[in-house]
Amino acid sequence: MNFMEKEKTKLCVMLARGGSKGVPGKNIQLMLGKPLIYYTIKAVQESGVFDRFILSTDSQEIADIAKGYGVEVPFLRPKELAQDDSSSLDGIEHALKWIEKNDKRYDYVQYIFPTLPLRTHEDIRGGIDLLIAKKADMVIGVSEANHLSCLINVLPDDHSMKGFIKPESWGKNRQQLAREYWINGAIYVGKWDIFYEKRPWYEQNTFAYIMPPERSIDIDLPIDFKLAELLLKEQEKSVILK
């Protein structure tokens, strides 16, 4: 980043609600002895790029744990914005409106979830560097898809597979098909007004920050938690060996 780019103000907002059906209490469930939220907090803090880092949560318990790691929790999110059917867009909009009213608008905003413990501070910095290099409105994290979209379809009530695979994809292997990516939820960084004044984000001047699958695990089910914990153990072993 050049001098002028360093002068741009940067805000990071982490969203972490208390409820979760897939993995109950997942944001503070212990992973290798530390609450899940710790790994994202650590990555954000080690990136060293933000002027302000706040947490938006409806849970006092999550708020207290985050404060213990040095995160600012200036408000508790209203319960109606933290239900199972609540949109994360409503959560970030509420946070930005609160910040604008009580502080100021920032040039860049990073909107982040605590459920991707293998995302690194390099990924966070990389997203911002790409945003600046591309003169983009927003950068969004993606990872190469494990499953080809041509092998995915809905099933009718009788489970017939007639027409399940498109004729143009039949008999082709992965190498013969276009490389596909999915939005992994790890990186959302962009200009302030993009977040709640210009939607959909993907139709703006938006670019993809590509991450490897092993850093893109999002904790949604118990098996995701186990896999992430296993990979973190492997990381710890490699650091000790070095």
Span 208-239, pLDDT tens digits: 999 999 999 999 989 999 999 999 998 877 65
Q: How many domains does the chain have?
A: 1
- Residue 20: pLDDT band with limits 50, 70, 90: low
Between 158 and 152, the more confident residue is 158
Q: Residue 198 above 90 pLDDT?
A: no
> Mapped to the 3 state alphabet, what secondary structure does 148-204 carry?
CHHHCCCCCCCCCCCCCCCHHHCCCCHHHCCCCEEEEEEEEEEEHHHHHHCCCHHHC
Distance of CA 63 to the CA centre of its chain: 19
Instruction: Look at residue 239 in the predicted model and tell me its pLDDT.
Output: 58
Alpha-carbon span 22 to 58, nearest angstrom: 18
pTM of the model: 0.87
Task: Evaluate whether residue 163 is within a structural domain.
Answer: no
Instruction: Look at residue 231 in the predicted model and tell me its pLDDT.
Output: 94
Task: Evaluate whether residue 23 is within a structural domain.
Answer: yes
Task: Evaluate whether residue 159 is within a structural domain.
Answer: no
CATH number at residue 218: 3.90.550.10
* Interval 191-208 mean pLDDT: 84
Alpha-carbon span 149 to 145, nearest angstrom: 9
Task: Evaluate whether residue 155 is within a structural domain.
Answer: no
Task: Evaluate whether residue 205 is within a structural domain.
Answer: yes
Q: 205 lies in which domain range? A: 3-141+182-241
Task: Evaluate whether residue 45 is within a structural domain.
Answer: yes
Task: Evaluate whether residue 16 is within a structural domain.
Answer: yes
Between 210 and 18, the more confident residue is 210
Across 59-73, 165-179, 215-229, least confident range:
165-179
